Structure 1
């Protein structure tokens, strides 16, 4: 990558990860969301990611209005990035005003596993857990500067987001790779663990087969296997974005059947599929969708 191309990439990251989403710091949320909606109509915003995601999605699901699909996808991306700044600079009063709760409550048992997906705008779930006095360790892939080759702004943005996840969850992130002792320690300390299960097989170890988009796909099995073995309660949750108002809806399931890893994986896949049927552009990982169908046993 030449110097000019690198500078363009850095400027684009500055605009898309900091400047535009960062307006949430200065504007009341209703005004900020109107601005976000205007930005989401601009095809240059997150152009490469949006085009790649649309192309991948059209091979899997019918999309009647590609322009609207792309605008919704861009809006979800922008709000999700903006949530970093909202979470950092807004109190729980913001949460009570703009986040609705449906479904069940968080389990009364202090140690539980909360599973979600790369769908919607999930950061406020950690703030909601904290507002209920629940410390939550987030399970994450480890990254360093080599993960963001010649993208310094993206790297520092990701570091800042990790710090906010830790601040919102009241505990350190647990990184994958030898994570079992730390997970068990978090559970023993009465903490919850939050994790994203829709991770491509190439990024994890063992997987279980599930049905996604009416095809055989694969999801990681290590974490749910641990929950089954250790008799840890498991719930699933999503945070949906209302594209008209900017309100969020946190939906929590009742405790899921956690006696068999395969059954639990299938239940989670069904919950994910329901979310996708409601709002397919809300999934951040469309550009990786084909990876979920590849796994060498």
Structure 2
């Protein structure tokens, strides 16, 4: 193993195992104070946090006052650290711990009702999974396939990714699903009156069908496949988020039953308006700032799309006029 590989493996061990793993052995009140101190260390999660800060700054989501950038990246590190720590908390804490530390608002759908449970990569979401199972739901999480080539030279990261995916399955008590090829497994689960769970704010650059929504005050492109599935199958949507109080370390879970949508675009706009509000509430808590170029649409792309639409409208106008005249 060369020196560069060794440094990378040690960094992954520190950031993914040793530091967040403190949550397994310390009382949470003490552990969270330690995490708040660790979040001041610039080298911790340096690359993704600095990339997130850069992208958020470019888009006007970091204040200009003195110390604003430092506070922003501190919050980003703290959310990242707690999100990783929840893997170890989930392995070592009971539902009684969850009831003490999780504030709940709203309710899930009935356990025997098919539903699409939607959430976002905002905050720290593991305890939402535990709570859903504790209320009798049977959700199948949709997860991305773990391609070994993506983890070449990073055995610690590969182990952690596999273990965390397994932790999602264990928390829900149902096998996860990879629907990158087909939605048929999800449809089968829904027809069995079970639930499908997914974080739907993922980049749309790898999918065929997408929707343009307003996110953080900017146009963004997001996948529409799952929302299309909910509309076509007449499946109600339940939106939930699991947040983190950055001062106290307490968690909050909020659920909202949306019911059945009849139009994909309308449903997408409404659902992502919720994420827009969350980002405005606590911008650093959104995990995908570092991938912002894959979400947000540049002005040149919007102009090109508008030109294509205008050209199509011009081409179809004579056909429509003729059809109206012959009606």
Compute the TM-score of the two structures, normalised by the length of structure 2.
0.87
For the Cα contact (< 8 Å) 1:212–1:273, is it kept in 2?
yes
Aligned to 2:136: 133
Within-5 A mapping of 1:65-104: 65-102=68-105, 104=106
Q: Match for residue 50 of structure 2?
A: 51
* Structure 2 counterpart of 1:265: 268
Q: What root-mean-square deviation, in Å, do the aligned CA atoms of Structure 1 and Structure 2 show?
A: 1.6
Report if aligned partners of 2:235, 2:260 keep a CA contact under 8 Å in 1. Answer: no
| Whole-angstrom distance in 2 between the partners of 1:293 and 1:36 | 31
Structure-2 residue corresponding to 1:185 = 188
- Report if aligned partners of 2:217, 2:276 keep a CA contact under 8 Å in 1: no
Q: Deviations over 1:182-230 (max 9, x none)?
A: 0011112322111111111113221011112332211101110010000
Quickly say closer, same or farther: Cα 1:149–1:128, change in 2 above 3 A: same
1:256 and 1:292 map into 2 onto residues whose CA distance is: 27
Number of residue-to-residue matches in the alignment: 295
Q: Offset of 1:257 from its aligned partner?
A: 5.4
Partner of 2:107: 105
Q: 1:228: which partner in 2?
A: 231
| 1:18-29 mapped onto 2 (5 Å cutoff) | 18-29=17-28
Partner Cα distance (1:293, 1:72) in 2: 22
Cα pair 1:233 1:258 within 8 Å, conserved:
yes
Deviations 1:209-268 (A, max 9, x none): 111233221110111001000011102111110011111011112325511100110001
Give, in whole Å, the separation in 2 of the partners of 1:49 and 1:177: 25
Paired with 1:95 and 1:204, the residues of 2 have a C-alpha distance of: 36
| Contiguous gaps of at least 5 residues in structure 1 | none
Report the Cα distance in structure 1 between the residues aligned to 2:61 and 2:225, rounded to whole angstroms.
33
Deviation, structure 1 residue 149: 2.2
Give ranges in structure 2 of 5+ residues lacking alignment.
Answer: 306-327
Work out whether residues 231 and 258 of structure 1, in 8 Å CA contact, stay in contact via their aligned partners in 2.
yes
Larger radius of gyration: 2
1:163 aligned residue: 166
Question: Aligned equivalents of 1:40 and 1:256: distance in 2?
Answer: 40
**C-alpha contact 2:179 2:186 (8 A) present in aligned 1:** no
What's the CA shift string for 1:132-152, capped at 9, x where partnerless?
011111111111221212111
* Preserved CA contact (<8 Å) 1:40 1:75: yes
Flag as ranges the 4+ runs of structure 1 deviating above 6 A.
Answer: none
Q: 2:54 is paired with a residue of what secondary structure?
A: helix
| Partner Cα separation in structure 1 for residue 256 and residue 280 of structure 2 | 17
